[in-house]
């Protein structure tokens, strides 16, 4: 099937992660099912924009957010660009498509006080899960890694001699992140607790459940949400907000934007600049409090 050539292209040439490729595949499968159902077309390779537009309208009517719809259409557009590249089609039916308007989401980071409250040792229960959860939160906050990057960490990802962590990010791009002494200390405690698990199935992976299998996305989200619910009244409490807090707090303390970009694994500076609105607010506060003419 032609989808297979496309997914190989995404994996091998575009260097997309397996998770992203799976999402693209799902989007193509959903669109393909729609085209078969509505138009009795056996292939999506020769559809026109009017047919795609009908699909988009159906997604809007289903209550799906414009942001999610744009992501699906983007996957479809990437597929048609691939067909053009391989000379399978002559024109891209999405060539003149304009993305649906989306509202700009303002991500509100946790405060330094909230993070400190969560990381109080008294918040973590004794035993394997408490130690593991503490390490997860410390790693998110001290390295800014993404949820999927944390889940995919291996036992060999850490270099304790150099005090660094090797992370495999988007498009299989590796980056090295320095580790704080406090994180290394918690890691040693966790590894000792991990050794005592009765059954370990996914031995290569760092973070496991009590049953010895690799942790999963909903569990990681639940851990962050549960612990931060004790210290924060913010509506959204997720691994991404903790990543956002990492970047914001570094910038508030005067970190170089390019350095934060490298730590986060962003491919462009523009992606990192979304985190600067909070640091600008902090700079304004410092400026007003410190400038000799601010009191006049």
Q: Which of 16, 141, 205, 275 is catalytic?
A: 275
> Positive or negative, the Cα torsion across 284, 285, 291, 296?
positive
Does 132 participate in catalysis according to the annotation?
Answer: no
Q: Which of 72, 243, 244, 249 is catalytic?
A: 243
Q: Residue 140 and residue 110: Cα distance in Å, rounded?
A: 12
In three-state secondary structure terms, 274 is: coil
Does 243 participate in catalysis according to the annotation?
Answer: yes
Q: Residue 94 and residue 235: Cα distance in Å, rounded?
A: 37
Q: With contact defined as beta carbons under 8 Å apart, do 148 and 215 qualify?
A: no
Q: Which of 81, 154, 234, 240 is catalytic?
A: 240
- Exposed, middle or buried, 125 (CB in 10 Å: 0-12/13-18/19+)? exposed
Q: Which of 134, 194, 244, 266 is catalytic?
A: 266
Does 275 participate in catalysis according to the annotation?
Answer: yes
Does 146 participate in catalysis according to the annotation?
Answer: yes
Does 170 participate in catalysis according to the annotation?
Answer: yes
Q: Residue 225 and residue 223: Cα distance in Å, rounded?
A: 6
φ and ψ at 205, to 5 degrees? -90, 145
Q: Which of 146, 244, 249, 261 is catalytic?
A: 146
Q: With contact defined as beta carbons under 8 Å apart, do 20 and 67 qualify?
A: no
Q: Which of 71, 97, 170, 234 is catalytic?
A: 170
- The conformation of residue 208, written as its DSSP 8-state character, comes to B
The residues assigned a catalytic role are: 146, 170, 240, 243, 266, 275
């Amino acid at each position: 099937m032609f989808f297979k050539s496309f997914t190989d292209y995404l994996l091998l040439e575009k260097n997309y992660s397996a998770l992203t490729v799976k999402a693209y595949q799902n989007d193509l499968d959903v669109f393909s099912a729609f085209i078969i159902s509505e138009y009795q077309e056996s292939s999506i390779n020769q559809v026109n924009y009017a047919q795609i537009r009908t699909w988009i309208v159906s997604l809007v009517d289903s209550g799906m957010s414009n942001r999610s719809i744009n992501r699906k259409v983007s996957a479809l557009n990437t597929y048609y660009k691939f067909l053009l590249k391989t000379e399978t089609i002559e024109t891209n039916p999405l060539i003149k498509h304009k993305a649906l308007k989306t509202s700009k989401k303002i991500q509100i980071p946790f405060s330094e006080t909230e993070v400190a409250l969560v990381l109080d040792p008294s918040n973590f229960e004794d035993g394997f899960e408490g130690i593991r959860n503490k390490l997860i939160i410390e790693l998110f906050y001290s390295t800014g890694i993404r949820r999927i990057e944390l889940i995919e960490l291996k036992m060999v990802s850490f270099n304790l001699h150099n005090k660094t962590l090797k992370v495999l990010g988007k498009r299989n791009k590796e980056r090295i992140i320095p580790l704080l002494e406090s994180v290394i200390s918690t890691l040693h405690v966790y590894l000792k607790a991990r050794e005592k698990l009765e059954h370990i199935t996914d031995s290569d992976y760092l973070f496991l459940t009590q049953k010895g299998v690799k942790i999963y996305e909903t569990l990681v989200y639940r851990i962050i949400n549960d612990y931060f619910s004790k210290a924060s009244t913010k509506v959204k409490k997720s691994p991404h907000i903790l990543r956002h807090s990492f970047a914001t707090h570094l910038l508030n303390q005067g970190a170089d934007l390019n350095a934060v970009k490298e730590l986060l694994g962003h491919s462009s500076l523009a992606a990192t600049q979304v985190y600067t609105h909070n640091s600008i607010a902090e700079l304004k506060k410092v400026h007003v409090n410190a400038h000799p003419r601010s009191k006049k």
